[in-house]
Amino acid sequence: MTSLVDSRPKRRSQPRPLAGFGSLLRFMMRRDRVRAPAWIASVVGLVAASAASIVGLYETPSQLQEYADIAQADAAFKAFAGPGYGLDDPTLGAVMMNEVLVYSFVGVALMCIFLTVRHTRAEEETDRAELVRAAGVGRLSTLAAACVWVAIINVVVAIGLTLSLLAFGLTATGTLAYSAATCAVGMVFIGVAAVAAQVASSARAATASAGTTLAACFLLRAVGDLGTSWLTWLSPLGWAQSIRAFADERWWVLVLLGLAAAGSVAGAFVLSMRRDLGAGFFKQRPGPAVGSPRLASPLALAARLQRTSLISWTIGLAIIGAFFGIVTDEAEKMLESEAIAEFFAQAGAGTPTELFLATVVLMTALTASGYTVSTVLRLRTEELAVRAEPVLATPVSRRRWLLSYLTVSAVGTIVVMVVTGLAVGLGSAAQLGTTADILPVLGATLAMVPALLVLAAVTVALVGWSPRWAQLAWAGVAISAVVGLLAETLKLPDWLRNVSPFEHVPPLPAADFEWLPLVLLVLVAIGLTFVGLGAMNRRDIG
Amino acid sequence: MPTAISMRNVVKTFGPTRALDGLDLEVATGEVHGYLGPNGSGKSVTIRTLLGLLRHDSGEARLLGGDPWRDAVALHRRLAYVPGDVSLWPNLSGGEIIDYFGRLRGDLDRPKRDELIERFELDPRKKAGTYSKGNRQKVALVLALASNAELLLLDEPTAGLDPLMETVFQDCISAVAAEGRTVMLSSHILAEVEKLCDRVTIIRNGRAVQSGSLDDMRTTTRTAITVSTDRPVDGLEVLEGVHSVRTEGAALRFEVDSHALGRVLNHLTAFGIRSLVSQPPTLEELFLREYGDDLAASEAAGTS
């Protein structure tokens, strides 16, 4: 570090700040040879799958009109989907945009944030960046190569999106406007992440602050679209919607986004010229000199390390839950639309409100599975980072170490689901003026916990049996999501539906409560946990 | 003599690689045992097997009278470990991490901990993410040395330390040894091993190639002789046990196997010795001899 500080006065005279750019770019491509295709396939695949389901659901003009009536009447729809350009005279393209546009923005923005931070700040924390920079590489090369590489991925995603919408027979102009807007949002968030990578005190902090910026942009345009329209113009996501794809396109908005992207990337370059490798502008505050007496077990440490994650998941899901709760009163109107009725019918049989709430509970549970699984996967992160080894060299058994993370996952899952259930219930109570739904909804979210525990236990079993393939635990989450949301649309066979643990939970409050499936799910979870523990006790660490 | 560590014919494979290939290792209770070997020779694998983190394929391993795999948890109460590559939780401060491990071990000795932090000049308030390699190493050393464990397993513990801290470390280990506790020290710093260790084992490709006290090892190896005589010496090359004879100005330099020393001196006396310097092999020479592929190969050819 000191040598870098010492070389500061010579900074301006340093020749070729972009030396080694090409090699670094190729190196990043090599490192991402799995990750980049995976991101591209997931983003394009999700949009294509939604497009397929929309094309299937809304076949006639009257179906499109039904959709437009609900979407335009409802505040929550606007908050999540945008102001609904083109819904006055609804075309398939306009409905499609209302459904996928904002989510495409969020997906692409997240991809750009994760990948940009991965190749810039996260790399600096591994000591590898020092080696790289010591090897005749210019001061700006890493940042420049990272921005270019993520931009390339972003463009490939845009091409994929264009091709898939064209394949569904949508008009070329609208499709181009859509993918151009999505691509431009990606570019803006490459810039945001690049700035965050310079400013924040660590890679995690950089990802978190770029993600918070994205959330803020989402909320600004959500509130803006609900009425205070000037707020929409404070958010790049709002600009990108305003391109009005499939509804009287306004191409000049792209200039605004281009300027924002160029400006933020340039800002990141200026900042990176002014700072030391590995240091941010916000310094880390010192911690306590003495450890708290409570920090005395692997469980306490796991809880401490996962604290921020649990709080973020809880707040995020509570906000989503409350939003859904508030639109409960629209349920009956929605069910008038055949298309939506078909979607809800997956939940079972009951009153429209019950069907709607059951669907909401399932969707929040599917989202919460991200917390459940990622927390258990921290076991593998700890092992790979060689932090498990010194802990297991103390009088801590492997079983105790493994169960500590499983416990944090299970308890955190219950917390997330209780808070989400209350948020949905309170939201709907506030709108319907009756508290009758609060307890049933809370019960419904709690009934999802055994299914989530099965996913946690699958992760434990993978970590124990085949640690190299531990990340396959995400396949369980993906299958559950596809089955839960698209089983009817894709006409999935029963055996595949039964793979998802959520299929075995009675769709409360639209169905009667049953103990047996929940008990069986818990038993499956316990069994898989024992499998994982047994394998863990027999294998090598590291 | 009671043994703290005993390994017999231990084999550990990773796929096609034989990381430990019939390793024999004996560490007596109360001794400081040096464990030397080139990179990738199996030093860390040995220590991680002793910690029960790796399960060996065959052979017998005993640690403090127990089975390192089966009795891992009970044995870990009695030992402390410093890994070669210290990785810490970036968001916790050094002090928090030291105390966490102290509480896991159940023998947090606050005054000793504070004294060690001061001696190693560690800032316990800094977040571990901002520590340099040397400082991370200090955290691991403080938490091991602050314990009252009867056995210390140290895997290249001073790799990132500056010479001043290296001295502090040596003082601490001497104090541990004086209390009759056992230390297994894997290291590349030969001066450190020469100063601290009673006995040494040299490992190569997963096998112990040398083991014993430094004195013993010296007698089984060659001494370097520089001699000048009144009359030119002849017939030296043909004597058994004499190697690499060369003339440097008026002096003659050669190496001789320790067991042949007496015979060679008798031979030289006949030519009228004017001066004679004999240098016992340093640990570095022992080490290079066991490490160097070429030397080992020529040695094998010479003895057969």
| pLDDT tens per residue, range A407-440 | 999 999 999 999 999 999 998 888 888 888 899 9
Residue B139 shares a structural domain with residue B232: no
Mean pLDDT (chain A, rounded): 87
Residue A53 shares a structural domain with residue A158: yes
Q: Rounded distance, CA A203 to CA B207, Å?
A: 42
Residue B115 shares a structural domain with residue B256: no
Residue A51 shares a structural domain with residue A123: yes
Give the pLDDT of residue B82. 95
**Coil, strand or helix: which one is B125?**
coil
Residue A260 shares a structural domain with residue A239: yes
Q: Quote the minimal CA–CA distance from B269 to chain A in Å.
A: 59
In degrees, to the nearest 5, what angle opens at C-alpha A435 toward C-alphas A432 and A439? 125
Q: Judge if the upstream peptide bond of residue B83 is cis by omega within 30 degrees of 0.
A: no
Residue A271 shares a structural domain with residue A184: yes
**A420 within domain boundaries:** yes
Q: Rounded distance, CA B64 to CA B28, Å?
A: 10
Structural domain range at position B281 = 218-303
Exposed / middle / buried, residue B135 (Cβ in 10 Å: 0-12, 13-18, 19+):
buried
Of residues A287, A397, A541, nearest to B92 (C-beta) = A287
Residue B154 shares a structural domain with residue B225: no
Residue A491 shares a structural domain with residue A355: yes
Confidence band of A226 (pLDDT split at 50, 70, 90)? confident
Residues 252-291 of A with CB under 8 A from B: 284-291
**Residue B125 touches partner A, C-beta closer than 8 Å:** yes
Structural domain range at position A416 = 295-542
Residue B239 shares a structural domain with residue B167: no
Residue B129, domain CATH: 3.40.50.300
User: Contact at 8 Å (CB) between A394 and B104?
Assistant: yes
Residue A266 shares a structural domain with residue A311: no
Confidence band of A11 (pLDDT split at 50, 70, 90)? very low
Residue A387 shares a structural domain with residue A464: yes
User: Contact at 8 Å (CB) between A70 and A333?
Assistant: yes
**A13 within domain boundaries:** no
Boundary-marking domain end, from A231, A255, A283: A283
Answer with the residue of higher pLDDT: A133 or A445: A445
Q: Rounded distance, CA A525 to CA A403, Å?
A: 13
Q: Dump pLDDT digits (tens) for A72-120.
A: 776 667 777 888 888 888 889 998 998 889 889 999 999 999 999 999 9
Of residues B79, B85, B96, nearest to A288 (C-beta) = B96
Q: Quote the minimal CA–CA distance from B209 to chain A in Å.
A: 26
**A12 within domain boundaries:** no
Confidence band of A338 (pLDDT split at 50, 70, 90)? low
Residue B150 shares a structural domain with residue B208: yes
User: Are A291 and B103 in contact (CB < 8 Å)?
Assistant: yes
**Residue A248 touches partner B, C-beta closer than 8 Å:** no
Query: Is A54's pLDDT higher than 90?
Result: no
User: Are B101 and A395 in contact (CB < 8 Å)?
Assistant: no
Residue A210 shares a structural domain with residue A83: yes
Q: Work out how many domains chain A is built from and give that number.
A: 2
Residue B130 shares a structural domain with residue B158: yes
User: Are B124 and A540 in contact (CB < 8 Å)?
Assistant: no
Boundary-marking domain end, from B154, B185, B216: B216
**Coil, strand or helix: which one is A103?**
helix
Q: Quote the minimal CA–CA distance from A1 to chain B in Å.
A: 9
Give the pLDDT of residue A193. 96
Residues 110-149 of A with CB under 8 A from B: 125, 127
Exposed / middle / buried, residue A33 (Cβ in 10 Å: 0-12, 13-18, 19+):
exposed
Boundary-marking domain end, from A249, A283, A317: A283
Q: Dump pLDDT digits (tens) for A473-491.
A: 988 998 898 888 777 767 7
Q: Dump pLDDT digits (tens) for A185-197.
A: 999 999 999 999 9
Give the pLDDT of residue A49. 87
Tell me which residue of B186, B215, B224, B191 sits closest to B202, measured CA to CA. B186
Which range of A328-332, A338-342, A521-525, B289-293 scores highest in mean pLDDT? It is: A521-525
Give the pLDDT of residue A347. 64
Q: How far is CA B119 from the centre of its chain?
A: 24
Q: Quote the minimal CA–CA distance from A101 to chain B in Å.
A: 37
Q: What is the mean pLDDT of residues A19-31?
A: 91
Give the pLDDT of residue B60. 95
Boundary-marking domain end, from B175, B197, B216: B216
Residue B192 shares a structural domain with residue B228: no
Residue A52 shares a structural domain with residue A162: yes
Q: Work out how many domains chain B is built from and give that number.
A: 2
User: Are A287 and B97 in contact (CB < 8 Å)?
Assistant: no
**A9 within domain boundaries:** no
Give the pLDDT of residue B304. 38
User: Contact at 8 Å (CB) between A531 and A464?
Assistant: yes
Residue B106 shares a structural domain with residue B133: yes
Residues 44-103 of B with CB under 8 A from A: 48, 51-55, 72-74, 76-77, 79, 81, 83, 85-93, 95-103
Q: Dump pLDDT digits (tens) for A322-337.
A: 888 887 777 766 666 6
Residue B239, domain CATH: 3.30.70.980
**A11 within domain boundaries:** no
Q: Quote the minimal CA–CA distance from A438 to chain B in Å.
A: 39
Residue B162 shares a structural domain with residue B208: yes
**Residue B131 touches partner A, C-beta closer than 8 Å:** no
Residues of chain B with pLDDT under 70: 1, 219-220, 290-304
Of residues B74, B93, B140, nearest to A288 (C-beta) = B93
Query: How does DSSP assign B217-266, residue by residue?
Result: HHHTSEEEEEEEESS---S-TTSTTEEEEEEETTEEEEEEEGGGHHHHHH
Of residues A290, A292, A542, nearest to B53 (C-beta) = A542
Confidence band of A395 (pLDDT split at 50, 70, 90)? very high
Residues of chain A above pLDDT 90, percent: 52
Residue A394 shares a structural domain with residue A266: no
Confidence band of A404 (pLDDT split at 50, 70, 90)? very high
Residue A392 shares a structural domain with residue A480: yes
ipTM attached to this prediction: 0.83
User: Are B95 and A288 in contact (CB < 8 Å)?
Assistant: yes
Give the pLDDT of residue A8. 45
Residue B212 shares a structural domain with residue B283: no
Residue A372 shares a structural domain with residue A274: no
Residue B174 shares a structural domain with residue B277: no
Q: What is the mean pLDDT of residues A268-295?
A: 82
Give the pLDDT of residue A138. 83
Q: Quote the minimal CA–CA distance from B239 to chain A in Å.
A: 53
And the tokens for A94? 């306009």
Q: Which long-range contacts (CB under 8 A, 24 or more apart) does A61-65 make?
A: A61/A90, A63/A337, A63/A338, A63/A339, A64/A90, A64/A91, A64/A92, A64/A95, A65/A90
Residue B155 shares a structural domain with residue B237: no
